[in-house]
Amino acid sequence: MPKSSPFSFIWKSLLMILLIAIGAASLFWLSQSSLLAVEEITIDGNHLLSNEEILAMSAPLLRGQSIIRPPFDAAAGELENLPLVEGVEFERDFPNTIHIHIREYRPFVNLAAAGGKNFVLASDSQALMEKAPPEPGMPMLSTKVPCTAEVGKQSECDDVRTGLQFLASIPVSFNYQFVEVSVDGGDIRARTSTGVNVHFGNLNGYELKFEVLRQLLARASAGGVQITIDVSVPERPVTKDETPPPAATVSEEVASAEAVEETPAPDDAEAPAETAPAAGATPEAAAPATGQ
């Protein structure tokens, strides 16, 4: 079997190096060429932000750049500075298109903040926007001492976080909606959409508390009464009937007023004086004669 010449090995090595160099040079040329420059940007996943807002932050960094090595990190950093953006992903579509996939924060609750302001918060306490009037369809969260909020930042208020955790802990099987939640030093009170007031207490044992509350709310709905339910001690829940007494009708009020007006006032001056029998007289002698 003939042995391969050392010169043959050298030539093969040189040829391989040459091919690698040509490939690298071609790749570099393509990366600088307008043939693979980013021209089109598409966006999906955004519901609160407009395409214009997203393009204003990303297009100056991406358009005209090579699709082979676009500055995705820089563009992602700019987009994630938007308060509503939770995350972003990019996808290349050769030769000239970039797809931007936006993941937005989900508005979760209205917060009655300090200074009479209202903010929309995400479930992780991120302030998404200042909104007045409050966003409809979401519960209103308040604290005894109003907390401050800043768009684009998470709340550092313990009571705000407690209220958010309370709402996030509601079981899927819990078929009642809270429209108001207030927190005072970790103590939670709430009101349902049907007008039932709830004293929940702290979050300890929240699973049992929600189950007890669910059963009591079902009874309250069936009875059609207005109550306050206290499940702060779930082993000994307390319900208080707050149904107001029925108001008197107009006819009943008029009849009552007429009855008062027709009742004669006592007149001591016109009442006949009652004379006492003479001393020593018997009851019969004192009585008036009849039939004579």
Residue 71 C-alpha from the chain's centroid: 37
> Does this model's pTM top 0.85?
no
**CA-closest candidate to residue 178, choices 238, 226, 76, 110:** 110
Residue 102 has what pLDDT?
A: 98
Alpha helices in the chain (DSSP H): 6-32, 51-62, 72-79, 158-168, 206-223, 250-262, 283-286
Residue 246 has what pLDDT?
A: 67
Residue 250 has what pLDDT?
A: 55
Give the Cα separation of 141 and 160 in Å (integer).
8
Amino acid identity for residue 257 in this structure: A
Residue 273 has what pLDDT?
A: 46
Three-state DSSP at 123 gives coil
pLDDT in tens, the chain (292 residues): 555 566 676 777 777 887 787 766 656 555 555 688 999 999 999 999 999 999 999 999 999 999 988 999 999 999 999 999 999 999 999 999 999 999 999 999 999 999 999 999 999 999 999 999 999 999 999 999 999 999 999 999 999 999 999 999 999 989 899 999 999 999 999 999 999 999 999 999 999 999 999 999 988 876 666 799 999 999 999 999 876 666 655 565 555 555 555 555 555 544 444 444 444 443 433 334 434 3
Give the Cα separation of 204 and 265 in Å (integer).
65
Q: Which domains does the chain have, with CATH numbers?
A: 34-104 (3.10.20.310), 109-241 (3.40.50.11690)
